[in-house]
Amino acid sequence: MDVTIPKIYSKFRKAIIFSIFTFRNFISISSNKRVFILAHMRSGSSLLSHIISANQDVLSCGESNIRYSLHNYIKRSEFEIRYRAGKHFEHYDIILDQINHNDRTPSKSMLDGNNCQLIFLVREPRTTIASIIGLSKEFYDGSTDEDNAADYYINRLAFLTKFATNCIRTKCLFITYENLIEKPQQALSALSDFLGLEKPLTEKYRLNPYTGKSGDPSTHIFAGRIKKPQLTTYKLSEKNMRACSNAYEDFNSMITKIDCLKPKI
């Protein structure tokens, strides 16, 4: 059978479902809210996404990699997440996405006027850089060296620092990977309150069809619970360690200066 026929059918089916989705939203006001995990690679964003989406009131498809660059794409992206998750019309209080790259982060103007909440998640530089390099070697072509990883980390944290500063009117929560791993009960309690969940989040989560595919591809994500990673002995160069530490400190300094962007765990 011609391989183009299934592709045409898939596109046609998606178009029909989107039309129904659009009509349903036209005749009724959606009551759900959008939650974005704004993080960086190897920050625990896939882990946090799995933990939050384990709640029955939350829908996610992992790291969608949607480019929020089109007009009103906040609403269209809900359909994309629903379609990938196979949950086209069911009601969910929260539609969740995790974003680790600058060119995929929604602009402030897209978030204004929409029912959105932001969770900023960061990790200290030494273990982050080591994890990025290790992931590149294990799953990709190994082309990401220390300088590449450090540049990405510095640029992403600088972006998040500026972004958070310009999102004063948006409800935000700040959390670190270290808090999530070392003090999970405290971190998850604060997250549950922030998101207004009736059923508190726990350290355990279910595996999904997208586990290991959309987001973290390592075996670590298949643990089904919060698990402390193995300590790394990787040592960054003095130049990169200084630059990455400065970016990390700038982010934390921004949090302490902007009281209206709390709570911070």
Q: Tokens in use for 36?
A: 């974005």
Q: Supply φ then ψ for residue 48, to 5 degrees.
A: -65, -40
Please indicate whether residue 76 or residue 51 has the higher confidence score (pLDDT): 51
Which residue intervals of 86-206 are DSSP H helices? 108-111, 125-139, 146-165, 177-182, 184-195
| Type and span of the H or E element at 80 | helix 73-85
Q: Which residue has the tokens 């075996």?
A: 219
pLDDT of residue 113: 67
How high does pLDDT run on average in the chain? 87
* C-beta atoms surrounding 177 within 10 Å: 24
Band of pLDDT at residue 20, cut at 50, 70 and 90: confident
Which residue intervals of the chain are DSSP H helices? 4-27, 45-53, 73-85, 108-111, 125-139, 146-165, 177-182, 184-195, 238-257
For the segment 197-244, what is each residue's pLDDT rounded down to a tens digit? 999 999 999 999 999 999 999 999 999 999 988 776 688 899 999 999
Query: Of 85, 66, 96, which is closest to residue 201 (Cα–Cα)?
Result: 96
Q: Supply φ then ψ for residue 46, to 5 degrees.
A: -70, -40
Query: What are the residues facing 208 on neighbouring strands?
Result: none
Mean pLDDT across the stretch 11-23? Answer: 75
**C-alpha to C-alpha distance for 54 and 48, rounded to whole angstroms:** 10
Give me the amino acid identity at 183. K
Tell me: pLDDT of 9 over 80. Answer: no
For the segment 24-45, what is each residue's pLDDT rounded down to a tens digit? 665 555 668 999 999 999 999 9
Q: Which of 12-21, 85-94, 218-227 has the lowest mean pLDDT?
A: 12-21
pLDDT of residue 261: 46
Query: What are the residues facing 204 on neighbouring strands?
Result: 225
Please indicate whether residue 82 or residue 111 has the higher confidence score (pLDDT): 82
pLDDT of residue 29: 52
